[in-house]
Chains A and B, each alone.
Chain A
Amino acid sequence: MDNFLPITNGCAIPRKELPILEFPHFRDSLLASTAANGNIVQFFGYEENGTATLLAVIRKGYDLSAAQCAMPKEFPSLTAENWKFNLFEREIAEQFGIRPLHHPWFKPVRYHANWRGAPDVFGADYQTDIPGLYDYFRVEGEHIHEVAVGPVHAGIIEPGHFRFQCFGEKVLHLEIQLGYQHRGVERLLPTLPFKRLPIVVEGIAGDTTIGNSLCFAQAVESLSSLKVPDPARVVRTIALELERLACHVGDLGALSGDVAFNPPAAYYGRLRGEFLNLLVVLAGNRFGKGLVRPGGVTKIPTPDNVALLRDKIKEVRPEIIQVADLLFSAHSVQARFEGCGRVDRATAEAVGLVGVAGRASGLDYDAREFFPTEKYKMMSPCSYNRKRGGVYSRAWVRYEEICHSLNLAEDLLGTIPEGDLPFPDPNWRLAPDSFVVTVNEPWRGELSHCLLTDAQGKILRYKVKDPSFHNWTGLALALRNQEISDFPLNNKSFNLSYCGFDL
C-alpha cells in the first residue's frame, strides 16, 4: 500500500496530490491490502474531459489511504480474488460500461443504462423497466422450488426483489435484486445549483437524514474552509445519536413483532416515536430534516428545550430497559432469536460487513471510534458482549448501542451553551480541483461521501456509499440453510436501506 496516499477523514486535498498508478499496481495494491484486513471505503469511477479514472479509498485499522488509475476498457476482475469488490465492481461496470473480466457473478446493480452511452456490458436494452427481469441463480432438482417476493412487499416497506431457492422449508440460496428505488441521485447532484444539495442529500435515506447530512456538510466545510462553531458540533452529534436511538428502538420492536411477541413491539413502537419527537424539538422535523447545514446547524436548542430533551431521556431510559428485559428474557423470543441466521466472523470479514451486523459477528469497527468526527473524539466506545453473528447478537448489539447512545446524548446535552448562533451562510463555494472523503457512523454503519471538484469549483463527482452496500450480501448469506419462515426476522435484524443502496 505504500503507493497509496494516506488521507484524513473530512480533510480536502488538491486532486493532483492523489497518486495515479498503473492499473496492475493499482490492482495488486488493492488486493494485497484487502487480503490483509484492509476494507474498501470507496471504489468508483469518474470522468473528466473524456478521460475516465478509477479511484479507491481503503481503510486499514485507523488509517485511510487513496489512489487512482486510468479506467481500462476491461480488466481482470478483483472480485474473482476477493469478494469485497463484488458490488463496487459491478457498479463501476454499470455506470461506465466497462467490463471486469471473469467476474464470478456479473449482473446489474441498479438497472440503468451507463452514463457514457457505451455498449451495454450486461446485454440489457432497458426497454422494460423491471430490474428483476433477469436470469436468477437457480438450484436444480426434483424437490427444489423457487419463491419470488417483491418488489412490492406485504407491509409498508421499500421495494426490492428476493428470490429464494428452497428445498422444502430450507433456503439453499437467496438472491437479492435491488434498483427499484433508483432515482439517479449521483447523476443529479453535480447538475444542481448548490442550494438544492442539502435537500437532495437529506432524501438519500430519510432514516439516515442526519448521517447523510453530516457526511455532506463535513465535505463541503472542508472544501470551502467553513468553520463550525463548537455548539453546532454538539447539536449535530446529539442529532446523530437521537437518529440511532429512534431506529434501534424501532428495530427491537419490529424484531419482537416478527416473532409474534406483541407487547414489546407496541411499547418500542411508541418509544421510537418519542425520539422522533425529540428530533422535532431539535430540527422541526421528525427525521431531523432542515437541521444540519454546511457551517453548522440551523438552530441551537433553547435552555428550555435542552431541559425537555434531558427530562425525556431520563423518562424513557427505565422504560427501554424494562421492555428489553421483557423481550430478551421471553423464552419464545429466545427460541426464535438464538442461533438464527448466523454469519460467522470469517464470513463477515470476507464480505466486509460493517455497522451493527459487522459488530454482531465480532468485527469491532465503529467509525465513531476509528475516524471520529464532530464530538466523537471524546466519546468512550461502546462495548459488545455478544458476537455470535445471529439474530440474537444483532438485536443485542442494538440494545447495547441504545444504552451507550443514551449516555452519550445525556452527557452532550450538558455541554450546550446558552445563546443562539448565526444562521449558517448558504452561499458557500468549493475549492477547485479538490478531493475529499467523509466517513461517519450513523445507526446502520459506516456511511461515506466522496466529492471531487473541477477547475471551476463545480462538483465533478459526488459518490455516496451507504453501509447497506456492504451488508445486503450478509443478509443473503445469513439465510443459507435457514427456514424461509425466518426470512422476515433475519431481514429485520439487518434492516438495510433500499433507497440508500439504490440512490
Chain B
Amino acid sequence: MLKLIQTRLKQGYRTSAFPRKPINLHPSYRGRPEINRDCDPEVAARCAEACPQEAIDAEKRRIDLGRCVFCGLCQQLSEGRFIRFTTDFRLGVAERDQLLYQGSLPDLAAHSKQHFKKLFGRSLQLREVSAGGCNACEADTNVLNTPFFDLSRFGIQFVASPRHADGVFVTGPVPRNMKTALLDTYQAVPAPKVVIACGSCALSGGPFRGSDEIVPLETLLPVDLFIPGCPPHPLTILDALLKYFKG
C-alpha cells in the first residue's frame, strides 16, 4: 500500500492540457508539409520522381496526403526548398479530395456533418476494426487511453461490441481476408453510424497499394472522416475526433 502511494506521488498528474492549451511536438516530427509554390520546377519534378508513394504532383505543386507516408524524402532531396515538414499535427479532413493538398487544409469543424455533432458530440462510442495494417495505427490509437491523452474525458470511448458503437474506426488497407469481418462489423453497428478511416493504408492502400490481396476501403464503406499519417500521431487522431464531433 505504501509503495502504491509512493509511486503515485512520484508519477504525479500527467494528463495533457490539450486542446485547452496548445502543445508543441519535437521539431524533428514530420507533420503537415509546407509547399513552396515558387520552387524550381526541376527540383519539384525530382521529388515527384523519387517519391516512394507517388504522392507528389510536381506540375500542380500538390501532395496527396492520403497517400503520403511522411517519410521525409522530398524534404531531404529538395533540402527544404520544395517541401518542408512542419510540426503541425492537425491533418483530419471530411472529404477525400481535400487531401489533395496544395498548402492549406480546410477547417474540419466547419466541414463535418452537423447531425453527427448533435448525435455524438457529447458521447461517442467507436468500434475499431484493424484491417491489415502494420499495427502502428492501432498502437497509436490505443495510446489515446493512456493518462497523457485520456480520451474518455472527452466522452469518447473505443468499445468491445459493435452493438454498443456509434461507428467504425478503420485502420489498414483491408485485406481480402478481412473484408467480410469488416462489413459484418459495420452491419452490426446501429444506424445512424459514422465511418472513420485512419492512416495512409485505410486512405489509399498506403505502402500496399497495388497488391491483389487488398480491397480499397472506399469501395466498401462511405467514409466520413479521413485521418492521414503513417501512422497518424495520437494528437492527429484526437484533434480530428474533437473537431469533427465537437468543433
Contacts and interface: CB of A to CB of B under 8 A. Distances in A.
B231 A286 contact: yes
A323 B147 CA distance: 15
Contact of B129 (A152, A184, A192, A206): A152
Interface string A259-278: 00001001101101100110
Interface stretch (B37-45, B115-123, B176-184): B176-184
Interface string B19-35: 00000011011100000
A140 interface: no
A129 B178 CA distance: 7
A209 B132 CA distance: 16
B177 A182 contact: yes
A207 B139 CA distance: 8
A319 interface: yes
A426 interface: yes
B132 to A, nearest CB: 5
Interface in B163-179: 172-173, 175-179
Interface in B133-173: 133-143, 145-148, 158, 160-162, 172-173
Contacts of A497: 135
A206 B175 contact: no
Contacts of B181: 130, 151-152, 159, 180
Interface residues of A, number: 72
Contacts of B134: 202-207, 209, 499
A204 B133 CA distance: 9
B14 interface: yes
B175 A180 contact: yes
A349 to B, nearest CB: 29
Nearest to A323: B7
Given A156-B142, A206-B136, A280 B210 contact: no
Given A183-B132, A263-B4, A270-B14, A285 B30 contact: yes
A247 to B, nearest CB: 9
B109 interface: no
A131 B177 contact: yes
A323 B69 CA distance: 35
A299 B127 CA distance: 38
Nearest to A503: B213
B1 to A, nearest CB: 10
A270 B150 CA distance: 11
A295 interface: no
A199 B160 contact: no
A159 B10 CA distance: 37
A215 B142 CA distance: 27
A183 B211 contact: yes
Given A205-B135, A270-B148, A298-B72, A426 B141 contact: no
A138 B26 CA distance: 53
A28 interface: no
A198 B52 contact: yes
A349 B114 CA distance: 59
A288 to B, nearest CB: 10
B206 interface: yes
A436 B241 CA distance: 46
Contacts of B10: 319, 322
Nearest to A112: B213
A203 B206 contact: yes
Contacts of A128: 180
A305 B28 contact: yes
A334 interface: no
A188 interface: yes
Contacts of B145: 269
Contacts of A195: 50-52
Contacts of A498: 135
Contacts of A326: 3-4, 7
A155 B128 CA distance: 8
Given A286-B140, A298-B76, A319 B11 contact: yes
B71 A325 contact: no
B201 interface: yes
Given A112-B213, A281-B28, A283-B28, A196 B207 contact: yes
Interface in B41-84: 50-53, 69-73, 76
B218 to A, nearest CB: 17
A273 B30 contact: no
A277 B128 CA distance: 24
B69 A289 contact: yes
Interface string A193-236: 00110111011111101000000000000000000000000000
Interface of A: 110-112, 128-131, 151-152, 154-159, 179-185, 187-188, 191-192, 195-196, 198-200, 202-207, 209, 263, 266-267, 269-270, 272-273, 276-277, 280-287, 289-290, 298-299, 305, 319, 322-323, 325-326, 329, 423, 426, 497-499, 502
11 contacts: A155-B160, A158-B133, A159-B178, A183-B214, A185-B211, A191-B210, A198-B52, A263-B7, A269-B143, A290-B72, A426-B50
- Considering the complex of A and B, which 3 residue pairs feature the smallest CB-CB distances, nearest first? A206-B136, A184-B213, A206-B134
Interface of B: 3-4, 6-8, 10-11, 14, 25-26, 28-30, 50-53, 69-73, 76, 85, 127-143, 145-148, 158, 160-162, 172-173, 175-181, 185, 201, 206-208, 210-214, 230-231, 233
